[in-house]
Structure formats: structure tokens, C-alpha cells
């Protein structure tokens, strides 16, 4: 089969190499899954489907926080701690702004310099320039590929702005929100909704002059979490302080993750959430594909333009216009 990246590798080669934990082939497979060429994507899907029995054995951790909160520095310290425990870790980043500011991904690379040289760590920024839905899709596939390659902890980093954290929440077991002490939650653009998605919060940069502010924020946010109604997981979100520079709060974070996994595995939530997330992946993809199909047909595009004009002129009800488009699409 002809394809851009894997032309030297057959499906069986990919399967063998990934199963043996070959990181270079793993990176190629992720590129294949991100490819815009149909033949690449078909090969990637065959590959991931064949590897499915080898997937699912990791702990998937999402990490979010506003730009500059210290995500990359924290992940470097956290990652180094995990590899010191001989854990194989993969770090995937989703940055919806990366298409515009490529610098942030380059910045991340240099900030995780130590980790990027660590043979137990695999770091992969998401492909820039894709729609968020697309990025989320590819990240899910990348998670599965990393698991098949034997990575035990998968960390998904995303910038805490826009919809990306909602997308990440739908693909991880444990969701960690990083927050600055003393900046005020409004200042950090953190909405209650994001806090409700979090299983834990880490107050970053708790060192030097910041310690007092960080401790105050820690108790304030812990109190705020207590006011939320009990979540489906029956897990009480915990807030801790950390200094990635001084390597404090790092092993505590890992302990929290392990406690959460134990708690949710014993009450059945861990598996239930994963099943639910697979269904969400299925349903979200149906929606995306339909929208994609709608926007590629010239005939439909023309009709959409016409109906939009009528909506502006208030001569048609928007909901009726939408139904007309869908009916047209289904009968064409």
C-alpha cells in the first residue's frame, strides 16, 4: 500500500515494532494517523484496530492551566519523577493556538529538555493547524498507540483556554488543573465549569515569596471544592501546592493519582468512564463527519448561503432552515 510515511514499513512491521516499544516507529505511526491522505489514515486505523487488545493498560492524566502557569515545567519535574520510578511515560500536547503561535511548541520542547533526552519518556506535540475536533481525534489515537508501545502513564497537556480542556477531559482518567496562587481565579480565566471537571488542583510556583499566597489559595480552593455537589466518581477533589523548580509537590501529585485510580477502580467508575468515553468518541465523530460532509458539497454550500441570507432578512426561522439543509443532504 502506498503512503507518505510508512512506505518502508508494512502493517506487520508497524505492529511488530510498536509492540516492541520502538519509539521511532511509534512517532511514525502517530504521523500516519494525523495524515490528511486517506490511504495513510486507513493504514493507521487498521494498525490501531489490530493493536487494540494491547491498549488500555495505562493511566491517562490530563493537565491544564492558563498560559504561563507552569505546565511544562511541572510536567518535566513530574515526568522525571515517574521515570525515576522506572515508569515509561508519554506526553502528548494539545495546543489549539499552536497554528498561530508555533513558538509555544518550540518553547515546550526546550523546557522539557531533560525529559526529551530520557529514554523512558516519549514527547509528542499535536499537529498544528488542525481543527480542535481533529486534534482531539488524533490525540485519542495517539493514546492508544502509546499504550500499545508499553507506555504506562500518558500525560495530555493542554492550554486552559477555549474548548480544549473539555476535549481532553473526555479522553483521560484523571484531570489535573494547575493554578497560580494569589492571582485571583477571575484573573486566571478559570470558570467554575473547569473546576468541576478537575479531580485535583495543584497550586504552582509555591516557592520564595509565593509560598504564603500559594498556601492561602490552597485552602481557599479546597473549600470551594467542598461546596460542589458530589461527582459521579464519588471522589473528593484535592488541592495541593507545588514548586516544580524545587521539586516539591511532585510525588504528592503522583500519590493522588494512584489514590484516585484505586478509589475509582474499586467503585467501578474507572471502567465505566472509559466505556463512556469510547461512546463519546463514536458520537462526536459521527457529528464531525456529518458536518464535514455538509461543508464539502457545493450544492449544499450554495443552499446554506441562500438560507443564511434569508435568516439575516428574517424571512425564515433558523431552525427550519437547518432542517431543510439536513433533509436535502439526506435525500441527495
Ligand X SMILES: Nc1nc2c(ncn2[C@@H]2O[C@H](COP(=O)(O)OP(=O)(O)OP(=O)(O)O)[C@@H](O)[C@H]2O)c(=O)[nH]1
* Binding span for Mg ion by CB under 5 A among 100-108, 164-172, 234-242, 246-254: 100-108
Helix axes 269-296, 298-312, angle to 10 degrees: 90
**Options 47, 69, 82, 168; binder of ligand X; rule CB under 6 A:** 69
CB of 109 to ligand X, least distance (A): 11
d(CA 23, CA 119): 9
Q: Which of 66, 277, 296, 278 is nearest to 159 (CA)?
A: 66
Q: Of all residues in this chain, which one has the CB nearest to Mg ion in the complex?
A: 72
Could you say which of Mg ion, ligand X, none residue 70 binds, taking C-beta under 5 to 8 angstroms by partner kind? ligand X
Tell me, residue by residue from 167 to 206, as one string, x for binding to ligand X by CB under 6 A and - for no binding. -------------------------------------xx-
Binding positions for ligand X, 95-154, rule CB under 6 A: 104, 108, 111
Binding positions for ligand X, 70-89, rule CB under 6 A: 70-73
CB of 76 to ligand X, least distance (A): 8
CB of 36 to ligand X, least distance (A): 26
Q: Determine if 72 is a binding residue for Mg ion (CB under 5 A).
A: yes
d(CA 76, CA 71): 8
CB of 74 to ligand X, least distance (A): 6
CB of 305 to Mg ion, least distance (A): 40
Phi/psi of residue 178, nearest 5 degrees: -95, 140
**Options 13, 16, 68, 232; binder of ligand X; rule CB under 6 A:** 68
Binding positions for ligand X, 203-242, rule CB under 6 A: 204-205, 207
Tell me, residue by residue from 48 to 67, as one string, x for binding to ligand X by CB under 6 A and - for no binding. -----------------x-x
CB of 112 to Mg ion, least distance (A): 9
Could you say which of ligand X, Mg ion, none residue 65 binds, taking C-beta under 5 to 8 angstroms by partner kind? ligand X
d(CA 60, CA 311): 44
Q: Determine if 164 is a binding residue for Mg ion (CB under 5 A).
A: no
Helix axes 132-148, 269-296, angle to 10 degrees: 140
Query: H helices of the chain, where?
Result: 11-19, 23-34, 38-51, 71-84, 103-111, 113-116, 132-148, 164-169, 192-197, 211-227, 250-266, 269-296, 298-312, 318-331
d(CA 155, CA 94): 11
C-alpha separations of 310 from 294, 296, 320, 323, 328 in Å? 19, 21, 11, 14, 17
Q: Which of 244, 247, 226, 224 is nearest to 235 (CA)?
A: 226
Binding positions for Mg ion, 102-131, rule CB under 5 A: 108
Q: Which of 215, 174, 179, 219 is nearest to 198 (CA)?
A: 174
| Contact between 154 and 147 (Cβ < 8 Å) | yes
Q: Is 201 in a helix, a strand, or coil? A: strand
Q: Determine if 252 is a binding residue for ligand X (CB under 6 A).
A: no
C-alpha of 171 from chain center = 6
**Measured from the CB atom, is 56 or 189 closer to Mg ion?**
189
Residues within the interface to Mg ion (CB under 5 A): 71-72, 108
Residues within the interface to ligand X (CB under 6 A): 65, 67-73, 104, 108, 111, 159, 204-205, 207, 243-245
Amino acid at each position: 500500500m502506498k503512503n507518505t510515511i510508512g512506505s518502508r514499513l508494512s502493517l506487520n512491521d508497524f505492529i511488530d515494532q510498536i509492540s516492541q516499544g520502538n519509539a521511532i516507529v511509534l512517532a511514525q505511526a502517530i504521523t500516519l494517523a494525523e495524515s490528511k491522505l486517506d490511504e495513510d489514515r486507513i493504514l493507521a486505523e487498521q494498525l490501531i484496530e489490530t493493536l487494540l487488545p494491547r491498549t488500555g493498560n495505562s493511566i491517562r492524566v490530563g493537565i491544564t492551566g492558563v498560559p504561563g502557569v507552569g505546565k511544562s515545567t511541572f510536567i518535566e519535574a513530574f515526568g522525571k519523577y515517574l521515570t525515576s520510578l522506572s515508569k515509561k511515560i508519554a506526553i502528548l500536547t494539545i495546543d489549539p493556538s499552536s497554528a498561530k503561535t508555533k513558538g509555544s511548541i518550540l518553547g515546550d520542547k526546550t523546557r522539557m529538555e531533560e525529559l526529551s533526552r530520557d529514554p523512558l519518556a516519549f514527547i509528542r506535540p499535536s499537529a498544528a493547524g488542525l481543527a480542535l475536533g481533529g486534534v482531539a481525534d488524533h490525540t485519542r489515537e495517539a493514546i492508544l498507540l502509546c499504550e500499545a508501545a508499553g507506555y504506562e502513564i500518558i500525560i495530555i497537556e493542554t492550554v486552559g483556554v477555549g474548548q480544549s480542556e473539555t476535549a481532553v477531559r473526555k479522553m483521560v482518567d484523571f484531570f489535573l488543573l494547575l493554578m497560580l496562587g494569589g492571582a485571583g481565579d477571575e484573573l486566571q480565566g478559570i470558570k467554575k465549569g473547569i473546576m468541576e471537571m478537575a479531580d485535583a488542583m495543584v497550586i504552582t510556583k509555591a516557592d520564595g515569596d509565593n509560598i504564603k499566597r500559594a498556601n492561602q489559595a490552597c485552602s481557599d480552593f479546597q473549600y470551594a471544592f467542598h461546596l460542589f455537589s458530589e461527582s459521579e466518581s464519588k471522589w473528593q477533589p484535592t488541592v495541593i501546592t507545588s514548586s516544580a523548580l524545587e521539586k516539591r509537590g511532585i510525588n504528592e501529585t503522583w500519590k493522588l493519582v494512584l489514590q484516585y485510580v484505586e478509589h475509582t477502580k474499586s467503585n467501578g467508575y474507572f471502567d465505566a468512564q472509559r466505556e463512556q468515553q469510547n461512546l463519546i468518541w463514536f458520537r462526536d465523530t459521527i457529528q464531525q463527519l456529518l458536518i464535514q460532509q455538509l461543508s464539502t458539497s457545493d450544492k449544499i454550500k450554495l443552499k446554506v448561503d441562500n438560507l443564511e441570507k434569508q435568516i439575516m432578512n428574517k424571512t425564515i426561522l433558523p431552525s427550519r432552515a437547518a432542517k431543510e439543509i439536513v433533509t436535502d443532504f439526506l435525500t441527495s
